[in-house]
Amino acid sequence: MRLFPLFTIALVAAACGAPGQAEKAVRIPAPAIDAPAAKGMATAVFAGGCFWGLEAVFERVKGVRSVTSGYAGGTAQTANYDLVSAEQTDHAEAVRIVYDPSVVSYGKLLQVYFSVAHDPTQLNRQGPDVGKSYRSAVFPQTADQTKVVRAYIAQLTAAKRYTRPIVTRIESGKFYAAEAYHQDFMRRNPNHPYIVRWDVPKVAAAKAAFPGLVG
């Protein structure tokens, strides 16, 4: 993910390809086990490439109350875009999802994450973005979440729905919110060339794959 000066937008749009390029979800089963539905809101933290796209998908999931773009896996002192994007930290670009488990389960969020929110077979990159900060990683917030994601990765590996191995890491670490200009980026910048090329198709694919859940 990069922030483009106005005079480079035309060049970036050309380099990224045609707007609305098709993207499809990988058809995968739901998790065989799921986290129990606790009372009140719950939190999930996922990393998988540019946080603009993750945010754009998950903020449209029924039962999700808020999505915050940020950084996970490093320290508070290095949780800023300049350092993270320069690959000078242990952070991954990530999203913190606050959701209502009586409406959408942790397992269902994982299914969206592994199916269409990102490609779990890409190592230290997603699409045009290359580097450890764009790695595929889940940051479980509870012991139940850890159990579910471990089992689900094993389940998906056995199902052989991907052409390459799943490289998603299970990590620990605090989440730090990103700068204000990154929040709700797609909603505020629908015509940004990166959004048009990479995230509009992703949201469309999520809606097609999960009708009634992603709106």
Set out the domains of the chain in order of their start, with CATH numbers.
30-209 (3.30.1060.10)
Point out the catalytic residue in the list 35, 45, 50, 117: 50
Q: Is 50 a catalytic residue?
A: yes
Q: Which two tokens stand for residue 76?
A: 């508070």
Residues in the chain: 215
Give strand ranges (E) for 57-210.
64-72, 92-99, 125-126, 129-130, 136-138, 169-170, 175-177
Instruction: Tell me how far CA of residue 137 lies from CA of 71, 93, 118, 154, in angstroms.
Output: 12, 10, 11, 15
Q: Which two tokens stand for residue 200?
A: 């509009």
Query: Going residue by residue through the chain (215 aa), what tens digit of pLDDT does each one get?
Result: 444 433 233 323 322 333 333 368 999 999 999 999 888 999 999 999 999 999 999 999 999 999 999 999 999 999 999 999 999 999 999 999 999 999 999 999 999 999 999 999 999 999 999 999 999 999 999 999 999 999 999 999 999 999 999 999 999 999 999 999 999 999 999 999 999 999 999 999 999 999 999 99
Model's pTM, two decimal places?
A: 0.90
pLDDT of residue 24: 82
Residue that is written with structure tokens 């796209």 in the block: 53
User: How far apart are alpha carbons 70 and 52 in whole angstroms?
Assistant: 10
pLDDT of residue 196: 96
